[in-house]
Amino acid sequence: MNLSAQLFTLIDFAPRLRRGLRSPAATIGASVLLIVIIVAAFAPWLAPSDPLRQDIALRLRPPGAGHWLGTDNLGRDILSRLIYGARPTLGIAALVMAAAAPIGLLIGIVAGYVGGWTERVLMRLTDIVLAFPQLVLALAFAGLLGAGTFNGALAVALTIWPSYARLARTETLSIRDSDYLAAARMLGIRSSRLLWGHVLPICLPFAHVRVALDMAATILSLSSLGFLGLGVQPPTPEWGAMVADGSKVIFDQWWVAAVPGAAILIICVAFNLLADGLRDLGDPRHG
């Protein structure tokens, strides 16, 4: 069986969806995420006005008709900025996961399968990175290498791969001496095809719970960078930076900071609910 067929059986959609609906947590989390993804995708059509258009005469308006969530200190419509802000928040977090998770899985699978000194060196490296203060290192990294989207994302990605390496190694060790792999080897499947085609699919069901959890943590880290001015740069709307804009007027115009922060909270709750639900649904291999 080739890799795409394996992935296809792994993601047999209909039974999974039915099973997923049995978990209220996963259902709620997934629904909220779906809404946010749709909003981000159709931002130009959904936003009532241009998120960058400033109107000093209309600055710091309270929520009401015309500007449903009020305006910020430059008179920009907060609802429009919120809608456009979903794009960097979701997009960059997804890119970070897409970069970090495969690297972590690769390191873990190689360490677990090869064993010996390779394993010791790789896992020692993993433990070292796990013992670091991840947010602090991400802040320092972004601060020293220059604020910006790419450096912020890279800083976060560099600190989250170790959990995937740990997970993949544990799973690989558990099947290294199994009949399943022995059979694959006997059929002449070797090296990278064995790892990608036969070991990786075993790790994926565990990895997707981890991805959902890490999406929440990554969004929090990225928005912290944004809040400190080290992430996405103005005038691009980003939820963390929007909270920072509102922090100067928090005592009088509370909505400027409250609204984007609430959006971060909601999307992180959704990812955590999804992760909880997926975990409760158990190991899909036996589902």
Partner 1 sequence: MTMATQRLSTLFFRHAAPATLLRIAATSVLSLALTLAGLLAVTFAMSALSPIDPALQQVGDHASAATYAQARHALDLDAPLPERFVHYLDRLCHGDLGVSTATGQPVLGELREVFPATFELSTIALLLSAMAGVGLALLSARWPGSWIDSVIRIISLLGSSVPIFWLGLVALALFYAHWHWAGGPGRLDDAYEYTIDMPSGLVLVDSWHSGMPGAFASAVKHMLLPVLLLASYVLGSIARLTRTALLGELHQEYVTLARAKGAGSSWILLHHVLPNCAGPMLTVIALAYTNLLQGAVLTETVFARPGLGRYLTNALFYGDVPAILGATLVLGIAFILINGTTDMLVRLLDPRQR
Taking the alpha carbons of 67, 71, 74, 79 in that order, is the dihedral positive or negative? Answer: negative
CA dist 45 and 225 (Å) reads 29
Number of residues that bind partner 1 (CB under 8 A): 49
Q: By CB under 8 A, is residue 135 in contact with partner 1? A: yes
Shortest distance, position 285 Cβ to partner 1, whole Å: 23
Q: Which residues pair with 77 in a beta bridge?
A: 71
Q: Is 265 in the site for partner 1 (CB under 8 A)?
A: yes
**Rule CB under 8 A: is residue 232 a binding residue for partner 1?**
no
| Residue 42 within binding range of partner 1, rule CB under 8 A | no
Nearer to partner 1, 155 or 202 (CB): 155
- When asked if residue 273 is in the footprint of partner 1 (CB under 8 A), the reply is yes
66: region left, alpha or beta (phi > 0 left; psi from -120 to 50 alpha):
left
> Is residue 234 involved in binding partner 1 (CB under 8 A)?
no
- 205 sits near partner 1 (criterion: CB under 8 A): no
**Part of the chain binding partner 1 (CB under 8 A), chosen from 14-22, 179-187, 188-196, 245-253:** 245-253
Of the two residues 152 and 198, which places its CB atom closer to partner 1 in the complex? 152
Single out the residue of 24, 115, 146, 287 in contact with partner 1 (rule: CB under 8 A).
146
As measured in angstroms, the least distance from the Cβ of 244 to partner 1 is 8
- Is 123 among the residues that bind partner 1 (CB under 8 A)? no
Figure out which of the listed residues 26, 154, 202, 220 binds partner 1, where binding follows CB under 8 A. 220
Asked whether position 150 contacts partner 1 by CB under 8 A, the answer is no
Residues for the chain: how many in total? Answer: 287
Rounded to whole angstroms, how far apart are CA atoms 242 and 230? 13
| Residues paired with residue 71 on neighbouring β-strands, in sequence order | 77
- Closer CB to partner 1, 144 or 186, in the complex: 144
The helix/strand/coil state of 219 is helix
Which amino acid, residue 94? Answer: A
Q: Which long-range contacts (CB under 8 A, 24 or more apart) does 277-282 make?
A: 277/20, 277/23, 277/24, 277/25, 277/26, 277/27, 277/29, 277/30, 278/20, 278/23, 278/26, 278/208, 278/209, 278/212, 279/209, 280/23, 280/25, 280/26, 281/19, 281/20, 281/22, 281/23, 281/26
131 three-state secondary structure = coil
**87 Cβ contact list (under 8 Å, min separation 6):** 40, 43
- Per rule CB under 8 A, is residue 223 in the interface with partner 1? yes
CA distances from 101 to 56, 148, 203 (A): 44, 22, 11
For position 73 contacting partner 1 by CB under 8 A, the verdict is no
Are 121 and 165 within 8 A, CB to CB?
Answer: no
The Cα–Cα gap between 140 and 155 comes to 9
Residue span binding partner 1 (CB under 8 A) among the ranges 31-39, 186-194, 201-209, 267-275: 267-275
132 binds partner 1 (CB under 8 A): yes
Considering only residues 10, 137, 184, 189, which one is a binding residue for partner 1 as defined by CB under 8 A? 137
| Under rule CB under 8 A, residue 228 binds partner 1 | yes
Binding stretches for partner 1 (CB under 8 A):
124-125, 127-129, 131-137, 139-146, 216-217, 220, 223-224, 227-230, 240, 243, 246-247, 250-251, 254, 257-258, 260-262, 264-265, 268-269, 271-273, 276
